[in-house]
Structure 1
Amino acid sequence: MSRAGAFLRLGAFGALTAAGIPVQWLLLKTGLPGSRSVPLVYHRALCRVLRVRRTVSGAPATQRPLLLTANHVSWLDIVVLSAVLPVSFVAKSEVGGWPVFGLLARLQRTIFVDRTRRSATRETTAEMAERLSSGDAIVLFAEGTSSDHNRILPFRSALLGAAREAVTAGGEGCVWVQPVSITYTGWNGVGMGRFWRPRVAWYGDMTLPPHLWDLTKRGRLAVTVSFGAPITVDQRSDRKAVARQLETEVRSMTRTARNGTA
């Protein structure tokens, strides 16, 4: 793809973002309806601008309270998942201070966790429980960080405690927890193997602007979002066993998507 085309797409990205920010801010400030649907429309348009083609396997659960547990590859995961259904995310507190992207995260009502404080997990768990009980669908990147997309890291169980807290906070009998696989499968119509997967991944000490530029100029990207069967979690559930079950399902769905049988 030409550099001129990449600049045009980044310009469209900027224009779309500049138009959406005041609308979402006003909706959140006034409490008017639509604050959940605006990010959905925005991210669908952004997928078109960035030429990201989404394939969805399975379907998001309709039951509430709902916690979605996904693998994590890139900042682009947020765009992709937000284009499928209205969601909020759990993210490290540093994201809130990023230029532009931090503002977008706050406008999508992201739950920030401060990993430098020992009490942060407990506070984040309480906030997640409150939001789940109010009907929000929350996405937890259960690996705790992004990977090179050639592997899936072990799922961490600590924040899954929010599901059990939501049972008490919301007076519900259970919380639904659904595994989600995000699998980038091709670039410009060519299948993505072990060599190319780390090129779409954003991990380690990578900085955001060069990664965004690289994706923009490389052209069409294909991604499969797979939804597994939701499971119920109640106060008696073993969160470590639940984390292992979710991780196993996400690994299986990722293999299926890579084999082209999703």
Structure 2
Amino acid sequence: MIANLRLAVVALVLLLTTLALLPVQLAAIACRWRLAAFLPFLWQRVARSVAGIRVHVVGTPVRERPLFLLSNHQSWSDITVLGSVLPLSFIAKSEVKSWPIFGWLAILQRTVFVERAARGATGRQTDAIASRLNAGDVMVLFAEGTTSDGNEVLPFKTALVGAAQAALKDSDEEAVLVQPVAIAYTHANGVPLGRAGRPLCAWPGDVTLGPHLKRFLKEGAIDVTVAFGEPIRVSATSNRKIVARDCEVAVRRMLAASLAGNRQAPIA
């Protein structure tokens, strides 16, 4: 009964928040106001709070721009976790655009949609990401290309990492900063999740979204650590495969440290 009441409260708060911010965000996107980058951040902060997600930040997001974040990916909740730490936009597979509710929210988050299987479209897609980087937007790439089980990091894909170099073509900048980010779900209601318990938060493979979403929200208190690594300066002569590999190594190391208990006080 309490769990179902909690779900109702979460749904109501997010609905009211969305209705309040929607017209302003649509206008901000249409007019290209910088406010369009901040309102999704505000929405995600509300979502994080009402969902009971406590975010612990290790390290610091780079202030310099252009900034391209390469992160591991475990769950739909990664969007709220990262999106509540700083204003940013995501790169997502094109199918997400057609998902009920989530697709609309992704559009309002100013997501760049890509077709990962369309190899011939890579150049066009990297240019679209590069344009956003040059406009000052922080872009997030879930470099594994899919979600993991939360206990490990899958190999990073390299194709879209080239967007960092593409951003230099139409910019006066000498380099783009690429920063590795590791997301680790560590506790539920104060109890360590452990390897067997981490599927509560992770959403890998063919797990059905609806039941997973309900089970996650019913918990009421999830701790997640977001670790920011040392940024890599990517120039026109950098090798994107080496950059992706170095970020993957850093994310693996930070994930292992977070799961072992290296975290700081929550930011909210």
Report the TM-score, using the length of structure 2 for normalisation. Answer: 0.94
Provide Cα deviations, 1:167-223, integer angstroms capped at 9, x if missing partner: 122131111000001011100000110011122111212232222111111220000
Aligned to 2:102: 101
CA deviation profile, 1:15-55 (whole Å, cap 9, x unmatched): 22232222211221233441111111110011111000011
Listed as ranges, the gaps of 5+ residues in structure 1 are none
Q: Is the 8 A contact 1:10 1:216 kept in 2?
A: no
What is the match of residue 62 of structure 1? Answer: 63
How far off its partner does 1:67 sit? 0.4
Classify the secondary structure of the residue corresponding to 1:23: helix
Please list, as runs of the form range in 1=range in 2, the aligned pairs for 1:109-258 lying within 5 A after superposition. Answer: 109-258=110-259
- Matched with 1:4 is 5
Q: Which residue of 1 aligns with 2:31?
A: 30
Q: Say which SS state the counterpart of residue 232 (structure 1) adopts.
A: strand
CA RMSD across the alignment: 1.3
* Stretches of structure 2 lacking an aligned partner (at least 5 in a row): 264-268
Alpha-carbon contact 1:150-1:198 (below 8 Å) kept: no
Residue in 2 that maps onto 1:43: 44
Alpha-carbon displacement from aligned partner over 1:132-165 (angstroms, at most 9, x marks no partner): 1111110000101111111110111111111111
Q: Which amino acid aligns with 1:107?
A: L
Provide closer, same or farther for how the CA distance between residues 31 and 238 of structure 1 changes in structure 2, counting only shifts above 3 A.
closer
Name the SS of the counterpart of 2:119 in structure 1. coil
Tell me the secondary structure at the aligned position of residue 22 of structure 2: helix
5 Å-filtered alignment, 1:69-84, equals 69-84=70-85
**SS of the residue aligned with 1:59?**
coil
Q: Percent of aligned pairs with the same residue?
A: 46
Q: For residues 152 and 229 of structure 2, what CA distance do their matches in structure 1 show?
A: 19
Give, as a single letter, the amino acid of the residue that structure 2 aligns with 1:23.
Answer: V
CA distance in 1, matches of 2:246, 2:144: 13
Which string of whole-angstrom CA distances, capped at 9 and with x for unpartnered residues, describes residues 86-109 of structure 1? 111100001111122111111111
Offset at residue 128 of structure 1 (A): 0.8
Kept in 1: contact 2:184–2:259 (CA 8 A)? yes
Deviation (angstroms), 1:116 = 4.1
Aligned counterparts of 1:176 and 1:62: Cα–Cα separation in 2: 10
Taking the aligned partners of 2:117 and 2:257, their CA distance within structure 1 comes to 37
